[in-house]
Chain A
Amino acid sequence: MLVTLIRRELLDNLMTFRFAAAVFITLLLVVVNTVVLLKDYEQRLTAYNTATQESHQKLRKEKVYSRYAMYLTVHRPPNPLSIFNLGLDKQVGNKIAVYHAFVPTVWDAMKHGANNPFLNLFTSIDIALVFQGVLSLLALVFAYDALAGERERGTLRLVLTHPIQRGYILFAKYISAMLCLLVPLLISLLLSIILLTTSTSISWNVDDFLRIGGIILTSLLYISLFYLIGLCISAMTRRTSTALMLSMFAWGFLVLVYPNLILTAVDIVPQPETQTSAYNQIKQMWEELDRENKKFLRNDTVLGPLSRDGEAWGFRLKGSEYSFLRDEDEPSTLLYLYQSGFYAGKIKAESEPHVPHVQNYYGFHNREVVRTVQRTWLVRKPALEAIYIQPAKFGGMLLKFSPVGLYDAATEAWAGTDLEGIQDFFSTVRRYRRAVIDYFYDKKIFESRQWFAADQGTADWDALPRFSFQRSGVDINAKRALPDLCLLLTINLILFTIIFLIFIKSEV
C-alpha cells in the first residue's frame, strides 16, 4: 500500500510544471556558476603559483641568513572546494612571512595576486548559495499544497476511506517529494562535477569526493527541513492560497531577512580594553627586550663603543654595505616587533677581530627574541581570540537560528573553508616556523658569520626545512560539520513529529 501511495505521489509530482522548472533553473544556475567559479579558481591558482615561484626566487637571491626576515614567505593555496562554499577562502589573506620575531596568525596574512581590490565591492557567489536559495524555495513550492490542496479538492477524504493509516500518507508524501527534489540536486551536482573534472588545474582525490558527499548529505537535510516547514504550514491551513502565502513569507524571512537582520540588530563589538591592554603588554615586553639588548651591548667591551648607544646598525664594521630594519606596529592585530640587521659583502681585515663579538651578540639577541616572542604569544593568542574569534563565533551562532545559517556552517566545514579550516593552514605555518627556528638552533645559524656576512660561505637556502600544507583529512571535516548536521537532523525529526500530530488530529 505504501509503495502504491509513493508511486502515485511521485507520478503526480514528476508530471508537473514545477518539477520541470525546478530542474531547469537549478541546472542553469549551477552550471553557469560552476563555469564562472572554476575560472575564478584557476585564476587564483595561477596567482598562487606565480607568487610561490617569486618568493622562492627572491629568497635564493639573498646571501645572508638574516635577510630571510624579508623573503621567507609561504602562500596559502586556494581550496578547490571553495567552488562549493567559498567561506573565508577569498576573504582572508593568503601570504604570510615566516620569521622568528613573530608568530604568524590569520590576521597577519597579506594578499598576493594582482587583483583589483575594488572588485571586492561585488558580492561573490558559490554553489551552496544557489542550493540555499533555489532548492529551499522549490521544497516549499512542492509542499504548500500537499495537504491543503488535497483537502480542498476533497481527494484526501477519498484516500482516507481506504484502510490506510494517516502516518503512511504523510510518509509517502515526504518520500516522494524528497525523491523529486533530489533529482535537480543530484543532476546539477553531477554536471558541475563533470565540468570540474574536465579542468586540469584541479586534482581530485577520494577525500574530496567524500567531502562533496558530505555536502550532498547536508543539502538533503536542508531541503528536507524546508519541505517539512512547507508541509507543516500546509497541514495547519485550510486553503492552498493561504498556505502558499505563509510559505513564501516564511521563506523570505528565514532565507533573506533573518540572516541580515539579526547581525544588523545585534551589535557585536569586541572590547577595546582587551585590545589596548594586551597591546601595551606586548609592547612592554619588546621594550624590555630592547633594554636587555642595549645592556648587553654596553657591557660588551668591543661592541659597546662601536654601537651608538646600543644600536645594532652594522657596528661600523668595515665592509658592511647596508643595514635594514623590519618593524611592525599594528595595534589592531596586536602586532609589535622591531628588528634590525645589516649586510656585509666582504669584511675587511681591520674589522676581523670584531666579528666574533658580533656573532656572539646575534646569538644572544636572537635567542632572546625567540623567547620574548614566545612570551608575547601567550598574551596575544587569547587576546586575538577575544577580539576576533569570539564575535565571529557569536555571529555564527546567531545565524544558526535560521536553517540557512546551519546549512552554510555545515557546508563550509565540509569544504574546509570555515574559520577552523583556515586556521589549519596557519597552525601549519606556525609549526613550520618552529621547524625553521629549530633548524637555525641546530646548525647554530643565529650565531654564525653567515647571519650577516657573505664572505665565508653564503646561506644555504635549500637545506632549510620545506613548507608543505595538506588540508585536514575528511574525518576532521566531518567532525566539524557534525554538530550542525545533528542539529539539522533533530529539527527535521521534531518538525516531522509535529506535522504527524497535527495531521492525526485534524478533521478532513
Chain B
Amino acid sequence: MWYITKREIYDNLNSLRFALTTVLLIALMATNAVKHLREYPKRVQKYQDAATESLNRLTDRADDSLYKLAQYGPGDFYKKPSPLHFCANGGELLLPDTVEVREPPVFATDSDDNVLLKGIWSLSYPDANLQNKDVGPNVSQVDWAFIIGYVLSLIAILFTFDAFSGERERGTLRLMLANSVPRHTVLIGKFLGALLSLSIPFALAVLVNLLLISTANTVHLTTEAWGRLGIIFLLALLYTSLFLALGLLISTRVQRSAVSLMMLLLMWVTFVVFMPSTFASIASSFSPVVSFDEFWKQRNPVREDLWDKYEEWLWSEKLDDSTLRAKSKFYTENAERDERRHEERLKYWTSQVHRARAITSISPATLLQHLIEAFAGTGFERHLQFAGNVQRYARQFRGFVVDTDRGDPESLHIIGVREGMSQKSVSSKAVPRFEDTLSLSKDFNTVAMELLLLALFVVVLLAAAYLAFVRVEI
C-alpha cells in the first residue's frame, strides 16, 4: 500500500496542478495574513477603548454609591475580537458587537423638568447592523473558511477526478491489479496519496500564514488559540477527504476522465456554491412573515399596566415602607419586562436563523463554515455565547448589589429606590468583573452535530467509493 501511496505522491509532486496549487494557496494565505495584521490591532484598539470607558463608568458609579450602581447598572458590554478572526470572518460586519445597558427610564417629571420617578437599568440587544451605508461591491472576505471551503475543495476534485478513469484510459490500472494487490489497498493508497500530496501545499500555505501572523508583535496567540488552529487544520483535512472520496467514487464509475471531471465540477458547483444560498433563501421564505411586534402582542394579549397597578403609591411622597416597596417593585418589574421583551426578540430571531442553518447544513461547505466559525470564536453562535455570558453576569451583578446592600445596617434593603438603599460608596474592586469566557469543550458541544455530520459524509462517501471500486470491471 505504501508503494502505491508513494507512487501517487511522486506522480503528483511533479505535476502542473501541484505547482499551481502551491502558488495559489500561498498567495491566498499570505493575503489573509496581511489583511489580519492590518486590521486586528485596530479592532483590538477599538474594543479596548470601549471596554475601558465602560469600566470607568462602572467605577464612577461604584464610587458614588451603591444606589447609583443599582440604578445605572454596569456600563455597556463589548465583544472581544477573536485573535483567530482570520480563520473565519463569520459575518462580523453584520453582527453587533455590544450588548447595551439601557439608561434608567424617566417615568415622570414636574413642570421644571425635575425628575420625580426614575426606573432602573435593563439589558438590550442591538439588531444586526444592516450595513446599508456601504454601497460598494459585495464580496466575501478571503479567510481560512473561504480558502478551505471553496478553493481547497475544488483542488481536491482536480486531484482525484482521473485517479481511476485516467489509469483505466492509459491501461495502467489493469497492470497494477495484475499484481497481487487487493483492490481496497489500491483505493486506500490512492486516497492517502492524494490527501498527503494535497496537504503538502496546504500545510506550506498555512505555515506561511502563521509565520506572518505569529512573528508580528501585534497579534498574540495563546496556547489555546494554537490548539484551536490545530483543530481547524484537522477539520480542513477531514473536509478535503470528503471531496477526495467523492472524486474517487465518481472516477471509479465513469469510463472517461473528462466526463468524470465534468460531473464532479457540476456537483461541486451545486453543493458548494449554490446550495448554501438557495437553501438559505428557501429557509428564510419559510420563516413567518409575522414581525416580532405582532408576535409579542399575540403572546401577551393582556398587557398588564404596571402604571395602573402601582399608581396609588407612585405619586405619594411618603417615605414609608409600603410606598418605597411599591416603587421598587414598579421599577424592577418595568426593567424586567423590557429585558424580557428584548430577550424574546433575540430568541425569536435566533430560532429562525437556526432553522435556516439547519437546512443549509446539507451542503458540506456550510458545515465547514460553521465548524471553523465555532472554533475560531466568531460568527453567530459566538454572538449568542456572548449574549449568554452577559446575561449570566447581569444576574451576578444584581445579586452583588442585593448582597452588598444587606451588609449595610442603615439601609432599608429596598432595591432601586434612593431612600431605600445604601448610600455608601462601593470599592470598585469588589464589583464583579465581566468575563467573556470561551471554552473549547463548550464549542465542541455546540458543533458536535455538525462535526458528526461531516465525518458521516466522509465515511459514507469512502464506503461508497470502496463498494464501487470492488465491483467495477476494469
Contact = CB atoms under 8 A, between A and B. Distances in A.
A267 interface: yes
Contact of B259 (A18, A39, A107, A396): A18
A304 interface: no
A83 B155 CA distance: 31
Given A260-B140, A388-B134, A121 B380 contact: yes
Interface in B385-419: none
A408 B385 CA distance: 38
Interface stretch (B55-63, B192-200, B345-353): B345-353
B274 interface: yes
Interface in B139-154: 139-142, 146, 150-151, 154
A240 B24 CA distance: 22
Nearest to B267: A25
Nearest to B262: A18
A391 B356 contact: no
B292 interface: yes
A63 B37 CA distance: 58
Given A21-B262, A29-B274, A114-B290, A122 B285 contact: no
A395 B137 contact: yes
Contacts of A36: 278, 281-282, 285
Nearest to A145: B258
B277 A40 contact: no
A392 B285 contact: no
A91 to B, nearest CB: 6
Contact of B135 (A120, A133, A259, A389): A389
B127 interface: yes
A265 to B, nearest CB: 5
A260 B24 contact: no
A332 B262 contact: no
Given A256-B154, A396-B136, A396-B137, A244 B261 contact: yes
A259 B151 CA distance: 13
A79 to B, nearest CB: 15
A263 B132 contact: no
A43 B16 contact: no
Nearest to B169: A241
A137 B183 CA distance: 34
Contacts of A134: 266, 269
A36 to B, nearest CB: 4
Interface stretch (B27-35, B297-305, B306-314, B458-466): B27-35
Contact of A244 (B20, B258, B292): B258
A141 interface: yes
Interface residues of A, number: 75
Contacts of A332: 133
Contacts of A268: 136
B285 A252 contact: no
Contacts of B274: 29, 33, 125, 129-130, 133
B446 interface: no
B221 interface: no
A245 B20 contact: yes
A88 B132 CA distance: 9
Contacts, number: 203
B263 interface: yes
A129 B269 CA distance: 11
Contacts of A39: 285
A111 B289 contact: no
Contacts of B150: 256
Interface string A121-159: 111110001100110010001000100000000000000
A121 B287 contact: no
A290 to B, nearest CB: 20
Given A141-B265, A263-B137, A119 B31 contact: no
Contact of B128 (A91, A120, A399): A120
B44 to A, nearest CB: 17
Interface in A29-60: 29, 32-33, 36-37, 39-40, 43, 46
Given A107-B133, A116-B349, A123-B280, A259 B259 contact: no
B154 A125 contact: no
A388 B91 CA distance: 21
B209 interface: no
A118 B135 contact: no
Interface string A410-431: 0000000001001000000000
Interface of A: 17-18, 21, 25, 28-29, 32-33, 36-37, 39-40, 43, 46, 88, 91-93, 106-107, 109-111, 114-125, 129-130, 133-134, 137, 141, 145, 240-242, 244-246, 248-249, 252-253, 256-257, 259-261, 263-265, 267-268, 332-333, 388-389, 391-392, 395-396, 399, 405, 408, 419, 422
Q: Which 3 A-B pairs have the closest CB atoms?
A: A114-B291, A122-B280, A117-B128
17 contacts: A37-B281, A40-B281, A40-B284, A40-B285, A116-B284, A117-B130, A118-B349, A118-B380, A121-B94, A123-B277, A245-B158, A248-B154, A264-B141, A265-B35, A332-B133, A388-B134, A388-B136
Given A121-B94, A265-B35, 20 more contacts: A91-B131, A91-B135, A93-B130, A107-B132, A114-B292, A117-B94, A119-B280, A122-B281, A123-B280, A137-B265, A141-B262, A241-B166, A249-B158, A252-B154, A261-B31, A261-B142, A392-B134, A392-B136, A399-B139, A405-B137
